A and B are shown apart, each in its own frame.
Chain A
């Protein structure tokens, strides 16, 4: 931003510059290299596939919250309905290819995310208009109600939603494209990699369109937008549809990955997950939600191997990010990058490093506390292990260690506050 200020009359060169391509080449290279790294490790591929879905889901959510300033608690409606549409299409393909004729016999399963995208967009188109009158708290409450209502309706129409058991399909049907059999998770990976790349690129391209720019304007100053002659409600409605489409696309990816979908996928829990991922990664940076999706998915699936309180940790991470680093992981990286470019890094580093040390100490202290609390309420037969040390909830010294760690962190933070004060 500061660059633009210093040379106001020069047009932006970013469109023609080759430097803009670098992140995309790196992204594609990473997607191509991952299968080589994890060859034969099917657990890793399963995890990678989920990460792919969540990246698209979190990014589509951030189109609303980060770029349009609309806090939604019902984004899973589009994800879930997109997923249901794709699943019904997969079932139709199965039936049609059994009969060997009809339209669906020629549709490949690889194209399911398109079905999900269309469904998500249509749902947003039908439902969205009354909701887009205001942003902020009202929008949040309305989308919460929408999510609850659709989730409840999901239980009521078993022929469409399959009741509590949900509906399931088979992804190994219909015509195969590119020789993708979609049998194992490493085969599905290529499907995921392709759609993740396409969707991420499309959503990035959306931010560069006039509508994408306008969505930032409606977030920052809707009154002024109204003065200029763009009704904010129309802009919000269009963002809502775009975001719903990409949410549906993620749902289509999920349908192919899991081959089952239940009405739970429409409710508040997956909607909250999208919010969690986007906020942890950072709402203000385009790649923030990508990082958030990777971190939260890894935390959700890997922490549960080590502790029974994994969901609590995810919640605590979210809470501390909202409190102490409102710009998220991506915002932090961006800050360091700007300081580096301005040659400011050496001056600011001591403040940041001491802050990181303080936060680290508090985190370890909290982990010890949570683990011991868990042990205290669930019997003493399992020891709370943190960093290889064993803590016993019955002994006082464990609680003392936790308290000392937290207090030490707080003291360091307070003592070094001065070092961080001058940064805006």
Chain B
């Protein structure tokens, strides 16, 4: 039991950190430009595929730097030549644009890399166990992933709170026009933030690709969950996105790990549900993919502004 709890907690935190790496970029872009980037998870997928292809030539570590840079550059181009054009037609048009972009990227990935998963793995020496607990190994790579994510967040925090660029970004979040009047190039700032957010998604792809599978469906599986994180955390709140990421990561991992059915759970609370009936038979593990959406509906009913959001969406 203790073994399950410890490993589920570790895996849940890992998954939550990956979710936050995606949702932090999404939140930054959203609070600055008012657009939820539907293609965000597609950039995550591109990160994994780029790292796979680059990694075959350069090895893992250079690819870890290069792939996010490539994805970020691509994101900046998309903002400059696509999104900026559509901006004049309002937020719905922007959302439609990113939706179409996700569609096109998914198809292109299938065209270039094929429809089945590619063999993107972490380097051999990182598959060794970092530590062994109750006879189960925890690989070095997972430890490295957690380390990279934490370093990433410290860097992000430093960038936003301690540098001049961060000051400009924080000012542009709330008073975009005023920052423009003061002589800063706000469109270029937007482009930078969009590219940066995409690069974060790309980085999540590079380190998430070997843990989840690198296949064309990876964007479609993670995309909706990232949106749930942003809404549950409160639209535009980085802190909220952080807590929501960890919450969803832990809930989903624990649901997968616990070997029980709905009937066990309900009957433990005193109800009397047929354990072999249609509803009672469902195991918690099969419910796991649904948990983020159940959480979303609950949040929307009881606290529409999200965990830490200031405004209702």
Interface flags for A312-327 (1: CB within 8 Å of B; 0: not) read 1001101100110010
Q: A69-B92, A149-B293, A377-B111 are in contact. Are A141 and B36 (CB under 8 A)?
A: yes
Whether A145 touches B290, Cβ cut-off 8 Å, given contacts A138-B231, A323-B85, A377-B112, is no
Is B95 within 8 A of A312, CB to CB? no
Contact A312 B107 (CB under 8 A): yes
CB within 8 Å of A: which of B294-308? 294, 296-297, 300-301, 304
Is there contact, CB below 8 Å, between A156 and B286?
yes
- Asked if A350 lies at the interface with its beta carbon under 8 angstroms from chain B, I say no
Bound state CA distance, A310 and B85, in angstroms? 26
The stretch among B96-104, B186-194, B199-207, B264-272 that forms the contact with chain A is B96-104
**Would you call the interface of chain A mostly helix, strand, loop, or mixed?**
helix
B111, A137: Cβ atoms under 8 Å? no
Looking at the complex, which of B7-15, B161-169, B220-228 is the stretch in contact with chain A? B220-228
Q: Does B86 contact A (CB under 8 A)?
A: yes
Does B127 make an interface contact (CB < 8 A)?
A: no
Partner of B224, one of A145, A153, A279: A145
A142 within 8 A of B: yes
**A152, CB-defined interface residue at 8 Å:** yes
Residue contact A279 to B293, C-beta cutoff 8 Å: no
* Bound Cα distance from A130 to B86, whole angstroms: 30
What is the count of residue pairs linking A and B with beta-carbon distances less than 8 angstroms? 117
Any chain B CB within 8 A of the CB of A136? Answer: yes
> Which residue on chain A has the smallest CB distance to residue B89?
A326
Which of chain A's residues have a CB closer than 8 A to the CB of B171? none
Q: Which residues of A have CB within 8 Å of B292?
A: 145
Interfacial chain A residues near B114, Cβ < 8 Å: 377
CB distance from B260 to the nearest CB of A (A): 16
Chain A interface extent, by class: 35 or more
Total number of B residues with any Cβ neighbor in A under 8 Å:
48
- Chain B residue, CB-CB nearest to A318: B100
Q: Does A137 contact B224, Cβ atoms closer than 8 Å?
A: no
**Are A322 and B97 closer than 8 Å at their CB atoms?**
yes
Give the chain A neighbours of B296 by CB distance below 8 A: 141-142, 145
List A contacts of B104 (CB < 8 A). 312, 315-316, 319
Shortest distance in angstroms between B227's beta carbon and chain A's nearest beta carbon? 5
- B289 at the binding interface (Cβ < 8 Å): yes
Are A319 and B101 touching (Cβ within 8 A)? yes
Query: Are A326 and B297 closer than 8 Å at their CB atoms?
Result: no
Tell whether A322 pairs with B36 under 8 Å between CB atoms, given A138-B313, A156-B286: no
Inter-subunit contact B36/A157 (CB<8 Å): no
* B304 to chain A: closest residue by CB: A133
Known: A141-B313, A311-B107, A318-B100. A130 touches B36 (CB 8 A): no
Chain B residues with Cβ below 8 Å from A71 are: 92, 95-96
Question: Complex formed: what's the CA distance from A403 to B282 in Å?
Answer: 55
Q: With A157-B278, A312-B107 in contact, is A134–B224 under 8 Å at CB?
A: no
A141–B82 CA distance with the chains assembled, in angstroms: 22
Contact A153 B92 (CB under 8 A): no
Q: Which of B114, B235, B287, B293 has the largest number of chain A CB atoms within 10 A?
A: B293
Tell whether A141 pairs with B231 under 8 Å between CB atoms, given A322-B93, A374-B111: yes
B91 within 8 A of A: yes
Residue contact A138 to B297, C-beta cutoff 8 Å: no
Query: Does B108 count as interface, using CB distance less than 8 angstroms?
Result: yes
Residues of A within 8 A of B96 (CB): 71, 275, 279, 322
Nearest-CB residue, chain A, relative to B94:
A322
Assess the A137–B107 pair: CB atoms within 8 A: no
**Closest CB in chain A relative to B176 CB, distance in Å:** 17
- Does B310 make an interface contact (CB < 8 A)? no
Q: Is the CB of A136 within 8 A of B91?
A: yes
**Is B312 in contact with chain A by the CB < 8 A criterion?**
yes
Partner of B290, one of A149, A158, A309, A373: A149
Q: Could you list 10 further interchain pairs (A-B, Cβ under 8 angstroms) beyond the known A318-B100, A318-B103?
A: A65-B92, A131-B300, A141-B296, A142-B231, A145-B231, A156-B282, A156-B290, A312-B107, A319-B100, A323-B82
A sample of 29 inter-chain contacts (CB < 8 A) reads A65-B92, A134-B312, A136-B92, A137-B35, A137-B235, A137-B313, A138-B231, A138-B235, A140-B36, A141-B228, A141-B230, A142-B296, A142-B297, A145-B297, A148-B293, A152-B293, A158-B278, A272-B103, A312-B104, A312-B111, A315-B100, A319-B97, A319-B103, A322-B86, A323-B82, A323-B86, A326-B86, A326-B93, A377-B111
Could you tell me which A residues sit within 8 Å of B by CB distance? 65, 69, 71, 130-131, 133-134, 136-138, 140-142, 144-146, 148-149, 152-153, 155-159, 268, 272, 275, 279, 309, 311-312, 315-316, 318-319, 322-323, 326, 373-374, 377
Binding site for A on B (CB under 8 A): 30, 34-36, 82, 85-86, 89, 91-93, 95-97, 99-101, 103-104, 107-108, 111-112, 114, 220, 224, 227-228, 230-231, 235, 278-279, 282, 286-287, 289-290, 292-294, 296-297, 300-301, 304, 312-313
